[in-house]
Structure 1
Amino acid sequence: MMDTRNFDAGKLTLPELVALIEYHNRRYWELGEPEIPDARYDELMRALAGLDPGNELLTRVYAPAVAGSGKVRHRNPMLSLDKAYSLEEVLKWADKYARTPDEPLLVEPKYDGISAGYDGRILSTRGDGELGENITAKLPLIELETAGYRGPLDRPVRGELVIRDDDFRNLYSHIYKKGGGTYKNSRNAVAGIMGLKEIDEMIAQKAKITLVDYNMVSFRVRLSELADRWEGLLAELAALPYPQDGVVLKLADTAYEASLGSTAHHPRGQIAYKFTNIRRTTKLLDVEWSFGKNCLTPVAHLEPVEISGTTIKRATLHNVQNILELGIEIGDTVTVERAGDVIPYIVSSEPGAERRSPLIENCPCCGTGLVRRGPELCCPNPDCFETELQRLAAAVRNLGIERLGEPTLRKLMENSGVKHLADLFELKVMDILKLEGFAAKSAANLIEEIQKARVVNDYQLLAALNIPNIGANVAKVIFAHTDFAGLRKMNVEELSAIPGIGPERAQALVRELAAQSEYLDELLGAVKLIHAAPEPEERPTVCFTGKMPEKRSYYEKLAEAHGYAAADDVNSHLSLLVAADVNDTSSKLKKAAKLGIRIVSLDGFLRELEGAAAPEPEEPPEGQLELGL
């Protein structure tokens, strides 16, 4: 029997491809229980196009099975869209139909839901493009979002039935589907609810589905600018609070676009760029808990699986909260995703035949009972060797001692009595020569670099204390207002008044500076401190990433009202990255982590701003986004 999940589309015969596509069509459209992600299904369709370009499966228009009250013939067909999987394919399409290099295009979200239209009386799905299902009975659940309006569906419109990200997060964790259990994702929820014959139970649970107007969000761009603006446009669309699986591109001249006509499957003047994060399924063999400076991180050991030519054996599980939310246990079949050069991570799981919990209760190093701190699992023992090692390694990185890596630090801690940062400054060449792998020259070079680190910027030393959420960039902000001596005298209220610090971080600073007072005195006696405060007008910078409930400009205005400067990109000068999902693996989050920039959730950032005197920015108008060239 053919493996319906793990296959190489390029090696399948034509009959095998057809059978597999038919199987997955039924799983997705009729049962609402897809087995594979969209990117894998698209691999099958591309392979079919290569073997049999005229196959009717390539032009068939699909729609999910819904519970309706009859068929509705669309006055204007609701066709599907042709697909592209790279910017090069998009540009090839545009070059084919553009009249000049300055041909205007519209770039819009490709919403991940159910296509529908409302003529003022009847709400219907796309169906096969010509005939849709009458789902007018579902109107009590549906809210319209269109230009300048958000409320009951009261005007003709074509759009996508979706569940907004904020609604799914806030409402659907408490909404139970027929037969029990909550919905795994917003698209499954839309399909499941639209498939119900009776919706009284959903109304009682205050379920809500949004019909978002296809014309509401639209970026206008010239073809000649598209390549340069592509990444920025994708980022803007990603910030919208709707589930998306790609981008729609249209010729902006609607009369010209209409004149191009359409095939039986799609209009020629439009195309869909599909997101192609690659996913594969495999078995979770074990979970290893690795040490960080403040917590333990779970790492999945996987049955080897190939993704984009790379054999994947390990993947991050982020933290204990992520494990609990995904319900992952050892022995499960897991879906692994890898986009570009991002570290592979697990996005979902299915229970295996034999399962065991990956959670641990005691520290693998010292045996101390572990504790939960937010989403993390932590060893509370301050003398735990592995925790001390990771904290020392982090401190060394903050001081910029490049030659002193974790393996050497481990040897120094085990053989030379090194425990804290101050101990390193007492080392001699002979201490290093006792370590395996060091000769006279390499030992002398290491000691020289350690001694150079005695002359240190105040913000580097503060970051080296490993106080949670106080990295080098935040420390720079603090020392723009005081020096080390002044910092040690400040109370929570005074620290909270510094823009970008807030009460939570201020409390951590006061607590840790008091707890580490004796150690800090020793450290200050071993170094020469440089205080080079930035100019008074320099403000901490903040960047936002991910899909958030409101437009990004709203949060930028809120941040600026509280003393921040909004930034578009992550770089070494950024003070703070605010993420809709801190466990995401976007390029911004990855770069911020690499640079040691503080990362905080949107909820955490808003809590930090609570109680501040600055006014809130005006609520952004709902509806049409203000989009320019």
Structure 2
Amino acid sequence: MTDVDYKKIPIAELEAEIERHNRLYFVENSPQISDYEFDRMVEALRRRKPDSKVLHDIISDISSSAKKVRHDRPMLSLDKCYDDKGALDWAAKFEGGIVASPKIDGCAVSLKYDANGKLFQGATRGDGVEGEEITNNVKFISSIPQKISFGKVEVRGEIYMPLSVFAGFKDTFSNPRNLAAGAIKQKDPKRTGAYNLSFFAYDMIGSDDEFENEKYKRLKTLGFDVVEWKKIGRNEISDVYKYFLSRRDSYDFELDGVVFRVDDLSEQERLGITAHHPRYVIAYKFQGDSGTTRLIDVEWSVSRTGVITPVAIVEPVELSGAKVRRASLHNVGIMKELGLSKGAKVVMMRRGGVIPNLESVAEPGSDRIEIPDRCPSCDSPVEMHDDFLYCTDPDNCVSRKVGELYHFVKAAGIDGFGEKLLERLYHEGLVTDPSELYELSKEDLLGLERMGDTLADKLIRNIDASRNILLADFLKSLGIRELGKHAAKILAQFGSVEKIRKLSEAELSDIHTIGPVIAREVVSGLREKSALIDRLLSHLKVEKASDSGPAYGWGYASKNFLFTGKMLSMGRDEAAKRVEELGGNIASGVSKNLDYLVVGDGGGAGSKLAKAQKIAADGEGLKIISEKEFLEMIS
């Protein structure tokens, strides 16, 4: 297959696609592309815009109504590779052995035990900083011990559905991960128990172990199920990867790769972490299973941005235990390059072991696939830009309008309104723009087919709960091009919608990380949506978050920073980059113009510290802070 050339896609669209697929995977449990394809998108963005906020954002899977739990230590993502070279390049950065284990395609969770060894808290990964409390639910998973003979400790691992259990659900659920993700969040914990989920432990925080392999041994003695693991040298990486790949079908769980961890915990500490992943662990992902089937047809799907995307409809084919019936073709250019025709025999692959992708044509079909010249949703003319097909009448396109409504309810945190329900409301003329959601009555909802009294009450409550909305969320909910989460939180520092609406392009362009492109789109978008904004403001109380300053409209922007000594949480280059992303400056040396000298907690500060202490003693404004204090400033 010819892969999508992400170098040709505008950066803003690439960022939006990455955010969308993050949400589909973590929030909606309905991924549409493979891990492999997603990682290609991320790598393309990293090369073209390495400071993009999207690269560091972690999407939360927490329901807006759920109780949140803050993790003592972030539950970060894993860095990934897809070949021996990537894994060996990683292994060249440290000394010592490696622990290898299968990468389970499940749901990462944290379990906390008190000083008496009693389980008192369970939480999902969430956005890595905060998770959703699932304490009562995990107590109904038999492989999670309720009491251990250790004391105060945190155990992390993966909740999953065994394939032998999933066999009874295959006709109604596409894969075991999605089912497990929903099962652990059941309001009635007993229902969680009915799904017969299992748990594998892979980390233990609070023990005195010095090596990763010792953690695995200790977890097993404490009564936890532990994944199969091997202690290896770097020259064994390729062989161990092949070993787990060859045994993939023998396990009673979905696995989509092999996880390699640095064995020596002191070496892990030296390597540290980035804002996204720990440097001491990497996931070597499987490329995926393949199979052949017949292409029945190509459907055309319209997004809220007006892009019309081809979707392949195929005869059901089983890949990695899941039946595949459709797959995105990404854009018209890809479809043309594949040479697709109806009835063609095609090769499907679950790249990364999860998401179906149409790879190639094995045998041509007889019927040509026509590219539409009119929008499949509103029958308006279409336009082709590069390889992408666009609807030309956004104001009257049903799919696009429903997409905008769906974007709004997600950004505003209104639970219960899926695309199908919004489409029904739109067709009934009840909700044609987001402001009309706040004019819905229970009677309006009860007029819909299959709408009961209880559900109608719940939906109205969810709408009412969103009437107080944070300014950043309000701005993001408008669906203005380039006004994503990052830009919205920066603009929220102005304190009110009216102040932001009065900003000129020039004023916005001068804001660090905004620039002329975002400024132009934001000013234009606010002008175009002026009437909608006025209508929404008549229903909503927009609030500025009291704690939003340090993270985005940073309270230390324009200040001069310098780092000295060994940092334990991240490298000094990483810390400097974080400061610049937030609007601060990196000084070239210690002087009276320096505002903050950050001293790494690992020691070895040297002459910079001595010079800074002298300047500070002379009454200048220079402040000497610890690494811990710095982390609090940027968190």
With normalisation by structure 1, the TM-score equals: 0.44
With normalisation by structure 2, the TM-score equals: 0.44
